[in-house]
Homo-oligomer: A and B are copies of this chain.
Amino acid sequence: MTNIRDLAKMAGVSVTTVSRVLNNHPYVSEEKKNAVLKAVKATRYHKNINAVHLSKGKTKLIGVVLPFTDHPYFALLLKGIAKQALEYNHKLLLFQTDYMESRETEALQMLQQKQIDGLIICSRACSMRKIEEYLPFGPIALCECVKGGEISSTYIDHYKIFMDALEFLYRKGHTKIGYCIGRKSGTNSRNRDKAYWDFHEKYHLPHHPEYIFDQCYDYEDGERVLSRVKEMDPPPSALLVTSDQVAAGIVISCNKQQISIPDELAIIGFDNEPIAGMLNITTIDIPLVEMGRNLVHQVLTKEIKNKEISATLIERGTV
């Protein structure tokens, strides 16, 4: 592998001059510049980028932490992140965690070890305290509301959205409402749960903990939820489903079993994934691509900001 010292010898100049030419710095005579360029051509020289990283202390790499990529929510978020990273001329280092804290730690350590210039955590299993520990080593952006501090975030007010959706159903006459969620433990999930119980308090509705279904990610989970709902007495008359994919599973199962939507069961999905449009599912549009873009922006500009992104109810045929 030829390096800039070799080039310098070949071109009869110093390494400094070579470096200048390579980085388009001014103050290099045409003559020497051409000599260097000629040597570059002749040797098919290419920089060893690790040396650049070491010397500069930067890598133009952003870490992205997410549990899995084969779910529309994260796939769309990642799409936005990738688009914006491209515009900023940065690349992405992927940490697929399956919600394992050890892998999140690994990502945080990469920040500390300077392999990445910043980190985007799309969803986390570890504590905020732990994340804060790593803040001195580089900017971190999250997808959940973070009050104050040095962490940036781009988030949805899930409490408000959930409450709005519940009220919407209530106005349509629903009082037995359940919901489906992925994890119970995330910040966003807890906000939703709080909205759920506050709603019940507000309207003095009976509590039905069995109307809450967790571990809902895929179509099959929707199928499973429906089979459980069918066995209930009384069953919920409406479901808030925090992924359109799961909502689609429920809708398709209902079709198969001649359960009428929205008459027997009303559904509101989340994310406005492509399948929701296809199946005419009423859903909450969450601009995931935009959120992804903003996360990159926050990490790279290093402005510590908490940006709320608004979600919109899209009325279609399942309510």
**Residues of A participating in the B interface, judged by any CB pair closer than 8 Å:** 46-51, 53-54, 57, 59, 61, 64, 68-72, 75-76, 78-79, 82-83, 86, 91-96, 103, 109-110, 112-115, 218-220, 223, 248-249, 252, 274-275, 277-279
- Across the interface, do A68 and B59 meet the contact criterion of CB distance under 8 Å? no
Among residues of B, the one whose C-beta sits closest to the C-beta of A106 is B91
The CA-CA distance from A284 to B84 in the complex, in Å, is 35
Once the chains bind, are A219 and B95 in contact (CB under 8 Å)? Answer: no
A59 to B61, CA, bound (A): 13
The answer to whether B219 and A46 have CB atoms under 8 Å apart is no
Q: Inside 8 A of A114's CB, which chain B residues have their CB?
A: 48-50
Knowing A49-B110, A113-B46, A274-B219, the reply to whether A92 touches B91 (Cβ < 8 A) is no
Is there an interface contact between A277 and B219, defined as CB atoms closer than 8 Å?
yes
Do B92 and A47 touch across chains, with their CB atoms under 8 A apart?
Answer: no
Contact of A113 among B49, B68, B96, B110 (CB under 8 A): B49
Q: Which 5 A-B pairs have the closest CB atoms?
A: A70-B75, A50-B53, A82-B96, A49-B113, A50-B54
B219 near A278 (CB under 8 angstroms)?
yes
Is B59's CB under 8 angstroms from A82's CB? Answer: no
Interface pair A50/B46, CB less than 8 Å apart: no
Contact between chains at B109 and A46 (CB < 8 Å): yes
List residues of chain B with CB within 8 A of the CB of A46. 109, 112-113
Q: How far is the CA of A6 from the CA of B70 in the complex (A)?
A: 45
CB contacts (< 8 Å) of A53 on chain B: these are 50, 53-54
